């Protein structure tokens, strides 16, 4: 029988897309590497997924079926250089230390610390806090800071930023069949990107060295590269982080693991890692085959597509368990692998840790009532998750 945590997680997936739980669970059958009509090659094996993600010679995210192909239509052909070519290598080499665990913690302390403190005070006063909404506001705050957006200091303004990022990311919805975007979608996406990056140019020269834009400048990035990176951070780091935050809070509640974590706070990093593994907010990663290659005895041809079911690969290890420890096969496949490994991983971990610490610091167990799942979204998540302590 399915336990409570898993049941809610399945509902989160099903609300995002009715076929998602089926694809992700049946995906186990594809385990190693299998070809499916209309989808292409599918794997749910963590080692094969990593082998593909590490093979930049034969797999690309620029071809049909990859996110690079999507973004090139929106941002321009220079994306081909930045996303996967030598320009990508240079960009990643320069931004290797853009976020470290230490700098990410400083970023989250500064940008979301005060808002988290307010949420903690509300919980201690016996009020209910919608953690799903709070997560969207927190992520909106981080994005506003990264993109130097002038924002009125109200939750509503940050919700709007989150929604804008979400709209941009929704471009990718339905791209399991094709990554060719209609002209109207491209126009709308360009308009959003223009709005979001409007201040990057202006702040480029003056941004203080401790801000991300200032760091990009000091690391030697060109302004256009920084604008592209800012857009990427926004798209990659909004829904994913908010999803992981709310779902990890729910899982700790549903499994009862919150009680152990309260008694043993040194397990916080394990809770964050397990939350990321079990939720795997970006449940699939796509690539195009750039050149014929044999993987696991199967011949993959240039132009074909591969879908890596990372949710399935990560969850094959079992449900949320604070004692599970590091899994060498999965490693941190929830952040991808290889040259496109998530650049914001330290920020995501710091955001989740910050939220969990706020809940744990109330000293009381949290209860959840009347949760709702988000419907028809790219990244499965909660619509609302009202939490109260005491």
By CB under 6 A, is residue 295 in contact with ligand HEM?
Answer: no
Which residues are CB-neighbours of 170 under 8 A, at least 6 positions away? Answer: 377, 378
x-or-dash string of contact with ligand HEM, 63-102, rule CB under 6 A:
----x------------------------x----------
Owner of token pair 């929704």: 170
In the complex, least distance from residue 247 CB atom to ligand HEM, rounded to whole angstroms:
10
CB of 92 to ligand HEM, least distance (A): 6
Stretch of 111-119, 171-179, 341-349, 365-373 contacting ligand HEM, by CB under 6 A: 341-349
Q: In the Cβ-directed half-sphere of 214, how many Cα atoms lie within 13 Å?
A: 8
Closer to ligand HEM at the Cβ: 69 or 340? 340
Q: Residue 142 CB, nearest distance to ligand HEM (Å)?
A: 7
Work out how close the CB of 343 gets to ligand HEM at its nearest, in angstroms, rounded to a whole number. Answer: 4
Q: How far is the CB of 285 from ligand HEM (least distance, A)?
A: 5
Q: Which residue, 159 or 364, is less far from ligand HEM as judged by CB?
A: 159
Q: How far is the CB of 44 from ligand HEM (least distance, A)?
A: 15
User: What is the separation, in whole angstroms, between the first and last Cα of the chain?
Assistant: 30
Of 164 and 362, nearer to ligand HEM (C-beta) is 164
Q: Residues 295, 51: contact at Cβ < 8 Å?
A: yes
Q: Is 284 in the site for ligand HEM (CB under 6 A)?
A: no
CB 225 within 8 A of CB 232: no
String of b and e for 356-372 (b: at least 16 CB within 10 Å)?
bebbbebeebbebeebe
Nearer to ligand HEM, 56 or 383 (CB): 56
285 binds ligand HEM (CB under 6 A): yes
Query: Mask: binding to ligand HEM, 238-267, rule CB under 6 A, as x and -?
Result: --xx--x-----------------------
**What letter would DSSP give residue 267?**
G
Q: Strand locations in the chain, DSSP E?
A: 34-36, 40-43, 59-60, 129-130, 285-289, 293-295, 298-300, 305-308, 366-368, 372-373, 382-384, 386-389
Judge whether 388 and 367 are in contact, CB under 8 Å: yes
| Helices of type H across 264-344 | 268-279, 310-315
How many residues make contact with ligand HEM (CB under 6 A)? 23
- Please report how close the Cβ of residue 184 comes to ligand HEM at its closest, in angstroms: 25
Least distance CB 356 / ligand HEM (angstroms): 13
For ligand HEM, the closer of residues 2 and 163 by Cβ is 163
Exposed, middle or buried: residue 376 (CB in 10 Å: 0-12, 13-18, 19+)? exposed
Near ligand HEM by CB under 6 A, which window of 115-123, 157-165, 275-283, 320-328? 275-283
Range 9-38, binding ligand HEM (CB under 6 A) = none
The smaller minimum CB distance to ligand HEM, of residues 14 and 341, is found at 341
The per-residue b/e assignment along 14-46, b for 16 or more CB within 10 angstroms, e otherwise, is bbbbeebbebbbebeebbebeeeeebbbbbbbb
In sequence order, the β-bridge partners of residue 366 are 389
What is the DSSP code string of 58-86? TEESSSTTSHHHHHHHHH-THHHHHHTSH
Position 336 contacts ligand HEM (CB under 6 A): yes
Applying CB under 6 A, which of residues 233, 246, 249, 251 lies at the interface with ligand HEM? 233
Instruction: Give the range of 16-24, 118-126, 201-209, 328-336 binding ligand HEM by CB under 6 A.
Output: 328-336
Total count of residues recorded for the chain = 390
Residue with tokens 């609300």: 15
Residue nearest to ligand HEM (CB): 344
CB 320 within 8 A of CB 274: yes
Output 40 or 336, the one with its CB closest to ligand HEM.
336
Q: Give the one residue of 237, 283, 354, 380 binding ligand HEM; rule: CB under 6 A.
A: 237
Nearer to ligand HEM among residue 123 and residue 143 (C-beta):
143
Binding site for ligand HEM (CB under 6 A): 61, 67, 92, 232-233, 236-237, 240-241, 244, 276, 281-282, 285, 334-336, 340, 342-344, 347-348
């Amino acid at each position: 029988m399915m336990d409570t945590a898993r049941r809610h997680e399945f509902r989160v997936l099903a609300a995002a897309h009715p076929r998602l739980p089926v694809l992700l669970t049946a995906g186990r059958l594809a385990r190693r590497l299998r070809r499916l009509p209309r989808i292409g090659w599918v794997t749910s094996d963590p080692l094969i997924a990593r082998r593909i993600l590490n093979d930049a010679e034969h797999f690309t995210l620029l071809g049909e079926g990859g996110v690079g192909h999507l973004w090139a239509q929106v941002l321009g052909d220079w994306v081909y250089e930045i996303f996967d070519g030598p320009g990508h290598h240079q960009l990643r080499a320069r931004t290797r230390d853009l976020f470290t665990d230490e700098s990410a913690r400083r970023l989250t302390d500064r940008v979301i610390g005060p808002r988290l403190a307010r949420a903690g005070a509300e919980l201690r006063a016996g009020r209910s806090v919608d953690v799903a909404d709070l997560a969207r506001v927190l992520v909106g705050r981080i994005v506003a800071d990264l993109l130097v957006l002038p924002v009125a200091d109200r939750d509503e303004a940050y919700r709007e930023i989150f929604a804008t990022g979400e709209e941009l990311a929704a471009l990718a919805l339905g791209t399991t069949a094709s990554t060719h975007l209609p002209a109207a979608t491209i126009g709308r996406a360009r308009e959003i990107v223009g709005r979001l990056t409007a201040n990057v140019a202006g702040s480029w020269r003056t941004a203080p060295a401790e801000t991300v834009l200032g760091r990009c400048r000091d690391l030697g990035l060109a302004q256009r590269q920084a604008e592209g990176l800012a857009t990427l951070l926004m798209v990659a780091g909004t829904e994913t982080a908010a999803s992981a935050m709310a779902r990890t809070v729910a899982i700790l509640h549903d499994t009862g693991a919150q009680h152990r974590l309260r008694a043993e706070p040194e397990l916080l990093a394990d809770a964050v890692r397990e939350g990321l593994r079990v939720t795997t907010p970006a449940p699939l990663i796509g690539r195009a085959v750039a050149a014929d290659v044999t993987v696991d005895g199967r011949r993959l041809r240039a132009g074909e597509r591969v879908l890596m079911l990372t949710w399935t690969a990560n969850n094959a290890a079992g449900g949320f368990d604070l004692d599970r420890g590091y899994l060498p096969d999965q490693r941190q496949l929830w952040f991808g692998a290889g040259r496109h490994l998530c650049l914001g991983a330290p920020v995501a971990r710091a955001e989740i840790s910050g939220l969990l610490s706020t809940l744990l610091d109330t000293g009381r167990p949290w209860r959840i009532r009347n949760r709702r799942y988000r419907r028809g979204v790219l990244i499965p998540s909660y619509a609302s998750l009202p939490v109260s302590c005491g």
